[in-house]
Structure 1
Amino acid sequence: MPSQTDEIQDQLFARDPIPPLEPGKKAFDPSLARPISKLNEHKYVIAALHLANDDIHHCHEIAQANEGDPTANLLHATLHRREGDYWNSKYWLSRTSHPLLPDISAAKAFVDDCEKVQKPRNKAMRDQDEDLRLRTKQWEDIQALIRWIRENHHA
């Protein structure tokens, strides 16, 4: 029988369309914030599920409270990229040594690519193919991060 964590993860992973590069101020599903926060899981699982729900605020609270831990730093870098704080994202990447980040320069280049496609605030002027490519990579990375955290951090 799937756990509540599995159910929330499955619900988030089934999102269609996939999440935007920058979600804005509103969570994908605000009704999930409380159930995610109440899960009997490691704090990084909770933070990563908040991140997948576009709930940058709740993810940030956990990441910031655990600065210096490689997984918290990776969550911190990812959430800042998603909120469009690209410089800060690269700062946190510089402070991160993590198994999911074998190449920091490639991770920083991805941040730069996200910034370039997001620069035209007028969505009609964005490179739609590049936006989809970046959103797909970002979503795959977030899913991989959740899976890795669930395998490596237990409540």
Structure 2
Amino acid sequence: MFDPAQYGSVFQALLAEERLNALGPGTPNRKVYSALQALSPEQAFLPHSIRDAGMAQCSLAGLWLYHDYLEESHHISQSVSTSTGSYWHGIMHRREPDSWNSKYWFNRVGQHPVFPGLCEAANRIAEQESSLPETQFLREQRQWDPHRFIDLCEAGRTGKSEAERLCRMIQLREWQLLFDYCYRQAVGA
């Protein structure tokens, strides 16, 4: 279970509202724009010290994306030349929506440490929420396939599949797992 309180008071306040983001760009959450704009990495991670600046930046890229500020997230993620920076970059392009570009960035991700947990979560969510034929791969896969998920999100977003809500639920869990990974790496936990 994702608990914003475990990330300190600054992140907790900005993650208090659970958002089931759209598969497309969504609508920026204007209520938090000023707080996001004023946020520095050092302030965001208090009371912890930052041990990995790249992962701290990735956490902030994820935070902007969570609130549907794709351009701000993109600006940060494209400046982090790591597998995790590419992961946030790929999610942003998936939501933009630019499937081809998203797949390009996921090719740069390779095998990411959150993939096993995401594969298990997607399997569980799909098992509970969907019997659609096009989601069968989610119920059966033993290794996360970001390209197939991109294709399913595109089909859900464009109405070619009824899997939109399922994709949004998996996308939220993906965000939670990746944010948690970034935060823990950033503070050396």
Common fold by TM > 0.5:
yes
Percent identity between the aligned chains?
A: 26
1:74 lines up with 2:87 in the alignment: yes
Unaligned runs of 5+ in 2: 45-55, 117-142
The structure 1 segments of at least 4 consecutive aligned residues displaced by more than 6 Å after TM superposition are none
Which letter maps to 1:153? Answer: A
Q: Partners of 2:148 and 2:88 in 1: how far apart? A: 17
1:108 lines up with 2:147 in the alignment: yes
Q: Partners of 1:21 and 1:127 in 2: how far apart? A: 13
Aligned to 1:64: 78
Contact 2:86 2:106 in 1 (8 A): yes
- Residue-pair matches, total: 141
Which letter maps to 1:74? Answer: Y
Give the CA deviation at 1:31: 3.1
Contact 2:155 2:161 in 1 (8 A): no
Which letter maps to 2:32? Answer: L
Contact 2:57 2:77 in 1 (8 A): no
Q: What is the RMSD computed on CA atoms of the aligned residues?
A: 2.1
Give the CA deviation at 1:36: 2.3
Aligned to 1:133: 166
Aligned pair partner of 1:3 in 9, 13, 17: 9
Unaligned runs of 5+ in 1: 121-125
Aligned to 2:176: 143
Q: Partners of 2:69 and 2:182 in 1: how far apart? A: 18
Which deviations, in whole Å up to 9, do the C-alpha atoms of 1:23-61 show, x marking residues without a partner?
34x31x123133124142422111111111111011000
Aligned pair partner of 1:45 in 18, 37, 59: 59
1:35 aligned counterpart, secondary structure = helix
Q: Partners of 1:87 and 1:69 in 2: how far apart? A: 20
TM-score (norm 2): 0.67
Answer with 1 or 2: which has the greater Rg.
2
Aligned to 1:30: 30
Which letter maps to 1:112? Answer: D
Aligned to 2:101: 88
Bigger mean CA deviation after superposition, 35-44 or 85-94: 35-44
1:22 aligned counterpart, secondary structure = coil
TM-score (norm 1): 0.80
Give the CA deviation at 1:127: 4.1
